[in-house]
Structure 1
Amino acid sequence: MVAKFIALIILIILKQCNCENKNLPCEFVFEKKFGYTCKVTKEFDSTNKFINITGIIGDHCAIDKTFNFSNKDVIRVMFFDRQILYIPANINQQFPSLKTLQIKKCGLLELTRENNFHSLRRMYLGFNKIKNIPKMYFWHFCRLEILSLSVNQISNIPQMAFRDLINLKRLSLNGNRLMTIDPLLFVRCTKLQYVDFDNNQLQSIDGDWFAKQSKLYKVSLSNNGIQYIDTQFFSSWQSMNVPQTKINRYVIFKNNSCIDFSFNNESNFEQLLQIISDNCSIPLPTTPAITTTSKANSRTKKPKYKPKQVLWFDFCEWNIQKEFQYLYKSY
């Protein structure tokens, strides 16, 4: 126990020693659509995992001298074509009102530290080099509505990675290396409306992917290697009484192994299900029955151990509910 404690202290000291402090150069602009923005236009090399922002360089009043802007007014931070290998650990502390974070074409390698983005609404991390999504990185991103991880190198997403994204509406995973999606990945994302899985290596579609998504209106699955489709996948659209024409408006299967290229926008559910039945239905393997005469072997075998159902901690729902109750009481 003492050895573990000493090792922990040494690790903390090493992290502090390796911590790099830098000033963030910002060009402040105000855009009607996006609000007050910090654009990082000068060089800001974040090659250290433990980098911290110590100060902001830039003229807050460069837009209009009559307004006294501050870091608290910044709601968007943009990194474009800069070398940002790791997200600065305290960026949310420097910009406490941050709603949008965009890091594009920056060579981002990892999501290494939880930044506690409780107020973040939009996160764009496309065209980088992210390979893994840590299981707990997005925990407590309660208000996140748009998440883009397109054109990275992600091959696997842990089952509980998106457990707290209860307000997520749009998700882009276009251009990664995904081969499978866990059936429980989106179980808490009940407000999901649009998902982009284009240009991956998916081979099958599970019927439980979007079992709880009543607001889902579009899923794009183009340019994968899909060979098997569970027809239960379409239950959410059928339960919403979606018109049976123009199915490609809701699900896009272009350029996959088992979907007929002749399937067009004027086809209906029945035609689609027939195509799936003919080309995309893989029969489950059957196991031969074991016949024995002994009483011991004739007994029914105990079912294999199944893991307990995942219990989701409702921190986000509790936190948001508490906040809104406070707001209501204050008026």
Structure 2
Amino acid sequence: MDKGNATAGFILLGLFNHTRAHLVLFVLVLAVALNSVAGNGLLLLLIHQDRRLHAPMYALLSQLSLMDLMQVFTIVPQMAAAYLMGKKSISVAGCGFQIFFLLTLGGGECFLLAAMSYDRYVAICHPLRYPVLMSWRLCLRLTLASWLLGAADGAMQAAATLSFRFCRRNEIDHFFCEAPVLLRLACGNTAAFEIFMYVCCVLMLLVPLCLILVSYGLILAAVLRMRSTEARKKAFATCSSHLAVVGLFYGAAIFIYMRPTSSRSATHDKVVSAFYTIVTPMLNPLIYSLRNNEVKGSLRKYVACCAVRTSKDALVCLDLCTNRKGIQ
């Protein structure tokens, strides 16, 4: 291959081979992705339509669902087309856009989870001052900051990654373009960029994680001082769901982006990447729905009201049900 940028694009080798066992795994992953789309889409719909869910906590949760939906749509269609139709090629621009969107969504989710931890801290430790300390204006600012910081990180890393010259084979042993994987194809010294990427990861991963740990440390101290057993159980139930999301997301992200290049394994990277880009977005709405009484109540109301209606009337039914619920 001629030394220079791979202007013709790259070849994504994919996640699965064309064997019976891998076909079963592909169907399983596709089912997980469809469940993720359905779960996050339903959660977005419930939060948008039900007046009782019009609160800063659920506004932040709706942004989390939106990020998860966009992440699945950024990854899964390309992966499915490559496996089913053999369309494994991706242009340099397409690769850059994948890196940009994934880092934007991943970085935005880091700060959004930190904002959600602050919301829970205020709700549990300062419930009477919640409307002041967690106003709609602050909620909007936190949401915009999450998107903008994620976009800034995505733009910088995508531009820096594609600025290298790729003089090796243009095959990427992955099922989507990811900056650490793409660096393996670069010729020349990438040490400076790896340091830059490490600094970005510290800012985008460890700083929000520290804020989350501080928030939940204060929450734990406040919960242990509660005299009411019922209030303590409710606080633990709410916070445990958030901590489960944090653990799943941050564990996979740190594994991918904060390991040295010398210790990387293509197989391990693909498995962990599939987990945090496809599996975790499916788990998020399940965790929040199963541990949140208001979301479960809204869903039960919707199902009960729409049981006798056709699918084409579902949106109208949801609007009627949730509006009726808000009037009661």
Same fold at TM > 0.5: no
Length-normalised TM-score, structure 1: 0.19
Q: Which has the higher strand share?
A: 1
Length-normalised TM-score, structure 2: 0.19
Return the structure number with greater relative CO, CA threshold 8 A, min gap 6.
Answer: 2
Q: Which has the higher helix share?
A: 2
